[in-house]
Amino acid sequence: MIYCVIPRELVDELYDKMVEYYKDNPNVTVIVDRREGDDRRAGKPEPEFLEKRETRDRRRARIPGTFPNTDAPD
């Protein structure tokens, strides 16, 4: 499902146009952003578990040794 989110300030201008544009695509739903107020996440410190998270390289280590030459012979 894909959501086409229309900001509240542009509803009168865009909503009907976008509904018409996506009417033949059942995978798209046009919705209006109705959130109000400030973003409650702003200014909050990150949770402790994010501070302790460590990034590791999950790739396998390269096989030790040398590899044969792959250049074509002259």
Looking at the domain assignment, is residue 19 inside a domain?
A: yes
Domain count, the chain: 1
pLDDT mean for each 10 residues of the chain (74 residues): 94 96 94 85 67 73 75 74
CA dihedral 23, 25, 28, 31 (to 10 degrees): 0
Stated pTM of the model: 0.51
Any domain includes 14:
yes
Question: Domain containing 15: what range?
Answer: 1-35
The reported pLDDT for the residue numbered 26 is: 92
Phi, psi torsion values for 43, nearest 5 degrees: 85, -5
Q: With contact defined as beta carbons under 8 Å apart, do 22 and 30 qualify? A: yes
Residue 15's nearest CA partner among 26, 25, 7, 3 is 7
| Cα separation, 25 vs 22, whole angstroms | 5
- Would you say residue 28 lies in a domain? yes
